[in-house]
Amino acid sequence: MASERQPGASRGKLDFATVAGLLVAGGGILGGLVLEGGKLSDVAQYTAALIVGLGTLGAVMVTTPPALLGSALRRFKDIVWDVAPPRQALIEQLLQFARQARRSGIVSLEQEAEEIERDPFLKKALMLAVDGTDLQDLRRIMELEIEAAARRGEAEAKVFETAGGYSPTIGIIGAVLGLIQVMKHLEDIERVGHGIAVAFVATVYGVGLANLLFLPAGAKIKARLEQSIEDKELVLEGVLGIAEGMNPKLLENKLGAFLESAESAAVSASSSAAQTRAAEPATAP
Helix (H) or strand (E) holding 14, with range, is strand 13-14
Helix (H) or strand (E) holding 211, with range, is none
Residues 133 and 21 sit within 8 Å (Cβ to Cβ):
no
Dihedral over alpha carbons 159, 162, 167, 169 (to 10 degrees): -160
In angstroms, the CA 196 to CA 213 distance is 26
Average pLDDT for 36-50: 82
Residues 163 and 60 sit within 8 Å (Cβ to Cβ):
yes
DSSP state letter for 85: P
Question: In the Cβ-directed half-sphere of 135, how many Cα atoms lie within 13 Å?
Answer: 9
In angstroms, the CA 125 to CA 241 distance is 12
14 beta partners: 81
**Amino acid in position 60:** V
- Listed residue (97, 160, 87, 92) closest to 130, CA to CA: 97
At 68-116, the pLDDT tens digits run: 999 999 888 888 888 777 888 899 999 999 999 988 888 989 888 888 8
Contacts of 46 (CB under 8 A, 6+ apart): none
Residues 79 and 14 sit within 8 Å (Cβ to Cβ):
no
So what's the pLDDT on residue 136?
93
In angstroms, the CA 169 to CA 180 distance is 17
At 116-129, the pLDDT tens digits run: 888 899 999 999 99
Contacts of 71 (CB under 8 A, 6+ apart): 152, 156
Average pLDDT for 22-37: 85
Query: Strand, helix or coil at 200?
Result: coil
Q: What pTM value is reported for the model?
A: 0.77
- Listed residue (156, 167, 150) closest to 221, CA to CA: 156
Predicted confidence (pLDDT) at residue 144 exceeds the cutoff of 90:
yes
In angstroms, the CA 259 to CA 91 distance is 9
